[in-house]
Structure 1
Amino acid sequence: MGLPSSINGARTVMGSLTCRCVLTRLAHRYASFFASPSLRRPGMAAPGRLRRCPSPLHCRTSIGDPRRASCKHRNPRVRNLIGGAFVESQSKDWIDVVNPATQEVVSRVPMTTDEEFKAAVNAAKGAFPHWRNTPVTARQRIMLKLQELIRRDMDKLALNITTEQGKTLKDAQGDVFRGLEIDRYITAVIVIPEVVEHACGMATLQMGEYISNVSNGIDTYSIREPLGVCAGICPFNFPAMIPLWMFPMSVTCGNTFVLKPSEKDPGASMMLAELAIEAGLPDGVLNIVHGTNDVVNNICDDDDIKAISFVGSNTAGMHIYARAAAKGKRVQSNMGAKNHAIIMPDASPDATLNSLIAAGFGAAGQRCMALSTAVFVGGSKSWEDELTRRATELKVNAGTEPGTDLGPVISRQAKDRISKLIQSGIESGARVVLDGRGIIVPGHEHGNFVGPTILADITGDMECYKEEIFGPVLLLMTADNLDEAIQIVNSNKYGNGASIFTTSGASARKFQTEIEAGQVGINVPIPVPLPFFSFTGSKASFAGDLNFYGKAGVQFNTQIKTVTQQWKDTSGQGISLAMPTSHKS
């Protein structure tokens, strides 16, 4: 699979690709969270002492290959994490985790049983009293150690993400960094502030407020206390970043946590859990369960879970928001998007077109902050040909291949859905500028590949415009002036992000003031805020009251307790039944 030289010869660890010869360099460190099918089979050592797989042919058989039935080395089973132990599920139902570039089964993930789910919640509930009373400085030190370990194992995490999710190795490293830190592409520049490290400042972030002598001899102060057991439900597109959005902030606030990774790529979450334990996170503070609808509904319904963080589709997000809110839970639900860029004729053509290409096609368009719609104003309409030329130069291949710009999309179903939305646009009158359907990648003919696609003459009533495509498809619209362009953007139901490219301060200020999007970029294609701010999607892109990370993230994961105290001797003042006030009568 063309492993880069930086991976070859690396210290052997074990991610979610145990016993697949192509990735046997992931062979030791993470053995604990994979169950050995049928305990141990001939040729397979005990967990922690795994040997190089003796049969590379059998380990590389694809779905449907008749050799798979006789393979001596079945794919590893991903375990749940319950109370500090990686436990094999007793479920009879398992889901294949599939490499989207090759269709090889990487591992198998369980449909966690109701009993196993409740055991995870009980473990979190049992760990909470001690953890909430652990000094915040001690909790911070664990996060400091965790970020150190993540940096140490960056290559292993990235390789696992590329294998399970499909994105390029470089982008997979960005996935990890965006959880550790959150990077943001400004053309070729990566801005790297901290996210896990942001949680390391919790002693300051969680400070309450104090006023002395609010009334005669009376002081009042507020305390931000943890909620209890919190939960996170993660999408497939950022298997490291989104878990790191969720549990580090929550547990550093003093909560305990139950995480449900995407069933499509659970390996990164399991590796992060192993690192969290190595960093010193106590048993039961972080628990992981796997599955689909049933475990999601259990999270929504369980009375011991106080808050839920979700990132994913609108269908799932609104279901979770409604069901959990009806049970009185806090919910933050980041959902779909249709992010626009307005291109003014005074913008820099070179920088703008590079930004559109990177933000529109990076990660094969599988980002909630992907720049999926470009609105060209006035003379910038003539830039279409150059935009297309640059898009055709992008290399589509397996994410492990050097020089790859776009990897596959996550699944066959996703590929089919993207193709259908492209076709619906064409049938509704869209003009095909560049068609990436039907692309064949030599050596990976069965991969879920969709090449860069550009559709022009888009109108607001087209299904391909109204729906989030979540693929490498850039839609082109036109406007005569900035007012018309802003109206186009504001008419869309989504409100995750919007950008403008211009050299005019007046245009930028007008855009910033009038645009109806939670995150605004000015000459920035992906306006993801740094972690000391918050991820502030709006309109149909978000449901809930408090956003992820930043001040809002701390507020979401804590509740305020207000204390009013006095120490003066009030004996001899008698009984007063009147409402007390700060004014003397």
Structure 2
Amino acid sequence: MTAGPPTIGHWRAGGPWPGGAERCGDVHDPATGRVAAQVAFATGEEVSAVVAEAVAAGREWAATSLARRTAVLFAFREALVRRREDIAAVITSEHGKVLDDALGEVQRGLEVAEFACGAPHLLKGAFSDGVSSGVDVYSLRQPLGVVAVISPFNFPAMVPLWFVPIAIACGNAVVLKPSEKDPSASLLIAECWAEAGLPPGVFNVVQGDRVAVDALLEHPDVDSVSFVGSTPVARHVYETGTRHGKRVQALGGAKNHMIVLPDADLESAADAAVSAGFGSAGERCMAISVVVAVDPVADSLVPLIGSRIEGLRTGDGRRACDMGPLVTGAHRDKVRDYVDAGVAEGADLVADGRTVEPDGEDDGFWLGPTLFDRVRPGMSIYDEEIFGPVLSVVRVASYDEALELVNANPYGNGTAIFTGDGGAARRFQREVEVGMVGINVPIPVPMAYYSFGGWKASLFGDSHAHGVEGIHFFTRGKVVTARWPDPSTRHGIDLGFPQHT
């Protein structure tokens, strides 16, 4: 008898936990199309059991000294360094992105872990001596308790690492619900925490689908939720979580524009458009999906982009390829339908990814880099987030028209401008209604000590990820007003409103 695929379980009480496995989902190898594993789906009761243990572990962790917490953070950082190739390999096998891209993802997550090592400085309060006669005022930042992190398929290591190290550094316990499409990276991260000496129950992983998500959103002992994903789901997470009294940061979708002005270096702009449009098969919330070419740029720029696409090699991410498959067959088919729609709506198809000949098995979830020219608002390939290797060129007559196009979009995640004019760049960074801006940088993902997040329909909630905003999101402020009176002095009764004198 042939054994079936292995089952990927959860992480509970400091170690692997299979759970009841009443329901499971398929985990594919996108480069072959085969089912590589089954992932267990947690029930609501299982989620509640994990949360209850996290509550108890979180109380002890919150009472742990900053020195001890920091030591664990440094050890976790070292464990990530040791295991980064293992984590990258499992990302490639389950997500499909090429190995170099997966290693880059782990590195960007590692930077947040390094930032979290400095949490003692960031958690310092303020102190004011003698604000009134014998009165001092000082502030504290204290942990929330149990926090949930719900992460997407496109960055199975980096996105959890945006949140988890900071939450743990601040003294919280964490329950992570990774994407069911590529769940294994979360367990390798859990092993790193165990190697670092994190007490059992402070970091937990529950695998699953919407049942597990809603159980976390509705659980009374979960204090906050951090989410990254599509805008419809982000809206659901935000509305459900806040309705149940939680602090929520929900990062949604994107339609990122890259404006190219006539004075730009077109060779560099073409390189940037291809890199940012087709890296990770376009399955990035920061991918450039629209190039806005200001006249007369497009006639020169489009051929440059097309020539670079011709040199890209699509195939198995474990081989020497530039771009891998899409994450599932269903997602590949959805993106391919957008290509069909773009042709039907009258856009000029310059490079057709539907005809790609991949360096990989025939049943892999392949779709090559696709380029459309003369795209207009109102076409589905412009109006909707595609989340795949489809790059559209929109032609406009002026900078003002380009800016208006970007600002009219319902999303406000990331944008870029390519220009040699410092005045134009400075004007753009002030006038554009987008949360993250690149100037001659196509993917303006900030460093860990700044915060990541968009505007408009790209963000639900008030806080961005990591950086100082991350520290504030995972803590509550408290202000203490204290008087230690001189025993020889007595103030007596005063029913008037307190005044500082």
TM-score, with length taken from structure 1: 0.84
Q: Which position in structure 2 is the counterpart of 1:415?
A: 332
Q: For the residues of structure 1 that align with 2:495 and 2:13, how far apart are their CA atoms?
A: 51
CA offsets 1:458-490 (integer angstroms, 9 cap, x no match): 111111111110000101001111111100111
- Say whether the 8 Å CA contact 2:314–2:359 is kept in structure 1: no
Q: For the residues of structure 1 that align with 2:416 and 2:147, how far apart are their CA atoms?
A: 34
User: Do residues 389 (structure 1) and 389 (structure 2) align?
Assistant: no
The 3-state SS of whatever aligns with 1:143 is: helix
- Matches of residues 166-565 of structure 1 in structure 2 within 5 Å? 166-181=96-111, 195-382=112-299, 383-402=301-320, 404-441=321-358, 443-565=360-482
Q: CA deviation at 1:345?
A: 1.1
- Say whether the 8 Å CA contact 1:99–1:165 is kept in structure 2: yes
Q: Which of 36, 59, 62 matches 1:106?
A: 36
Q: CA deviation at 1:391?
A: 1.1
Q: CA deviation at 1:105?
A: 2.0
CA offsets 1:286-309 (integer angstroms, 9 cap, x no match): 011011111100010000000000
User: Do residues 151 (structure 1) and 81 (structure 2) align?
Assistant: yes
User: Do residues 573 (structure 1) and 491 (structure 2) align?
Assistant: yes
The 3-state SS of whatever aligns with 1:145 is: helix
What RMSD over aligned residues (CA atoms) do the two structures have, in Å? 1.2
Instruction: List alignment gaps of at least 5 residues for structure 2.
Output: none
Mean CA deviation greater in 421-430 or 271-280: 421-430
Q: CA deviation at 1:213?
A: 1.2
- Say whether the 8 Å CA contact 2:91–2:156 is kept in structure 1: yes
Q: Which position in structure 2 is the counterpart of 1:160?
A: 90
TM-score, with length taken from structure 2: 0.98
Q: For the residues of structure 2 that align with 1:573 and 1:451, how far apart are their CA atoms?
A: 79
Q: For the residues of structure 2 that align with 1:442 and 1:327, how far apart are their CA atoms?
A: 49
Q: For the residues of structure 2 that align with 1:532 and 1:484, how far apart are their CA atoms?
A: 34
CA offsets 1:397-431 (integer angstroms, 9 cap, x no match): 010112x0110000111111101112222222211
- Give 1:119's aligned amino acid: A
Q: For the residues of structure 1 that align with 2:279 and 2:63, how far apart are their CA atoms?
A: 43
Q: For the residues of structure 2 that align with 1:214 and 1:479, how far apart are their CA atoms?
A: 59
- Give 1:290's aligned amino acid: Q
- Quickly say closer, same or farther: Cα 1:484–1:128, change in 2 above 3 A: same
- Quickly say closer, same or farther: Cα 1:287–1:532, change in 2 above 3 A: same
- Say whether the 8 Å CA contact 2:139–2:478 is kept in structure 1: yes
- Give 2:17's aligned amino acid: V
Q: For the residues of structure 2 that align with 1:498 and 1:283, how far apart are their CA atoms?
A: 41
Runs of 4+ displaced beyond 2 Å: 438-443, 569-574
- Quickly say closer, same or farther: Cα 1:562–1:443, change in 2 above 3 A: closer
Higher relative contact order (CA 8 A, sep 6+): 2
- Say whether the 8 Å CA contact 1:81–1:120 is kept in structure 2: no
Q: Which position in structure 2 is the counterpart of 1:66?
A: none
Q: For the residues of structure 2 that align with 1:116 and 1:574, how far apart are their CA atoms?
A: 57
Q: For the residues of structure 2 that align with 1:500 and 1:416, how far apart are their CA atoms?
A: 32
User: Do residues 78 (structure 1) and 8 (structure 2) align?
Assistant: yes
CA offsets 1:84-136 (integer angstroms, 9 cap, x no match): 13111113211111101102222211111222111110111010121001111
Q: What's the % identity of the aligned pairs? A: 42
- Give 1:129's aligned amino acid: R
Q: For the residues of structure 1 that align with 2:85 and 2:237, how far apart are their CA atoms?
A: 34
CA offsets 1:51-83 (integer angstroms, 9 cap, x no match): xxxxxxxxxxxxxxxxxxx42x33221121122
- Say whether the 8 Å CA contact 2:267–2:304 is kept in structure 1: no
Q: CA deviation at 1:443?
A: 4.3
Q: For the residues of structure 1 that align with 2:420 and 2:222, how far apart are their CA atoms?
A: 49
Q: For the residues of structure 2 that align with 1:115 and 1:91, how far apart are their CA atoms?
A: 12
- Give 2:311's aligned amino acid: E
Q: For the residues of structure 1 that align with 2:360 and 2:381, how far apart are their CA atoms?
A: 31
Q: For the residues of structure 1 that align with 2:17 and 2:41, how far apart are their CA atoms?
A: 13
- Matches of residues 85-124 of structure 1 in structure 2 within 5 Å? 85-124=15-54
- Quickly say closer, same or farther: Cα 1:443–1:576, change in 2 above 3 A: closer
CA offsets 1:384-405 (integer angstroms, 9 cap, x no match): 1111111111000010112x01
Q: For the residues of structure 2 that align with 1:446 and 1:268, how far apart are their CA atoms?
A: 24
- Give 1:130's aligned amino acid: E
The 3-state SS of whatever aligns with 2:443 is: coil
Mean CA deviation greater in 304-313 or 457-466: 457-466
